[in-house]
Amino acid sequence: MSRTPKDAPDEEKPAAGKTPDAEAAPAEKGGKKERGPRGKDGKEAKEPKEGKEGKEGKGKGRPGTGKAAKFVPTNPNFRYIVRVANTDLDGTRSTALALTSVRGVGLRLSETACRLAHVDSHEMIGNLPEPTVEGLETTLGALSSQLPPWMINHPHEPVLGESPHLLGPDLETRRRDDVNVMKMIRSYRGVRHERGQKVRGQRTRSNGRTGMAAGVLKKAAKEAAAAAGKETTTAAAPAAPAPAAAEKKA
């Protein structure tokens, strides 16, 4: 007799709730895991961590270091320190930025001086030859005759009648002398300089407070006023008559 699908043995039918993948999973779990090499203590040796040199993007110098690469000049006549207007300038900076280290010279004036001296403002100042640097210094000293008055830092000189542009230590010396003159003639600005207060009309209600705190002064004034009030009340009160004098009158 031929068997029908209904008479098929139960072995061919998969068990309810189980799939072929589920049956294969325990077999895979039962297998041993591959273990790496063991260390001296019998524990599995950990993989070496990525060293500092293997990390990238953490510095402009060597990979993995936070320090920038040391500048190595190709010019044999390169100077790391350049002297301009009694000031030491960093030779590794561009000419326009290096000149801003001179007191009295900003970025606008430095770029203007580079144009007047026909010097590339983006070139490192340490690469410039000595005659070019001397020409830059001469140009900075003659800025007062080549610039408009609004770009000069000392446009009114009362003694000489000139309008010089002061640089370096000369600027600090002249500023100190001007302040001393204002103090001697007792001008408003000189008095404000002496007291250490604002000079150019700024507000002093909330900023620039000098001396003791206002709250402490107010508290002391209130205590003094209260003590003075008690003394006046006690002195103004009339004295009560003595009882012996009242009996005699009776």
pLDDT profile of the chain (250 residues), mean per 10: 52 52 52 57 59 51 62 84 91 93 92 93 92 92 88 82 86 92 95 92 87 70 88 67 55
* Cα gap 165→155, rounded to integer Å: 8
**Which residue from 144, 137, 140, 139 is spatially nearest to 84, judged by alpha carbons?**
137
Pick the CATH number of 81-153 from 3.40.50.150, 1.10.760.10, 3.90.1150.10, 1.10.8.50: 1.10.8.50
Supply 6's token pair. Answer: 């209904």
What amino acid occupies position 88?
Answer: D
**Which residue from 95, 85, 86 is spatially nearest to 137, judged by alpha carbons?**
85
Helices (H) and strands (E) in the chain, counts: 9, 2
pLDDT in the model for residue 221 = 85
CB atoms within 10 A of CB 16: 5
In degrees to the nearest 10, what's the CA dihedral of 199, 200, 205, 211? -10
User: Length of the chain, please?
Assistant: 250
Q: Where in the chain is the domain with CATH 1.10.8.50?
A: 81-153
| Angle between the N-to-C axes of helices 188-195 and 169-184, in degrees from 0 to 180, rounded to the nearest 10 | 110
Which secondary-structure segment (H or E) carries 90? strand 87-90
pLDDT in the model for residue 118 = 92
pLDDT in the model for residue 81 = 92
3-state DSSP call for residue 160? coil
Query: What letter does residue 151 receive in the DSSP assignment?
Result: G
pLDDT in the model for residue 249 = 56
pLDDT in the model for residue 222 = 87
Q: Which residues contact 165 (CB under 8 A, 6 or more apart)?
A: 104, 143, 144, 147, 152, 153, 154
**Which residue from 187, 203, 145 is spatially nearest to 179, judged by alpha carbons?**
187
**Which residue from 146, 186, 182, 183 is spatially nearest to 165, judged by alpha carbons?**
146
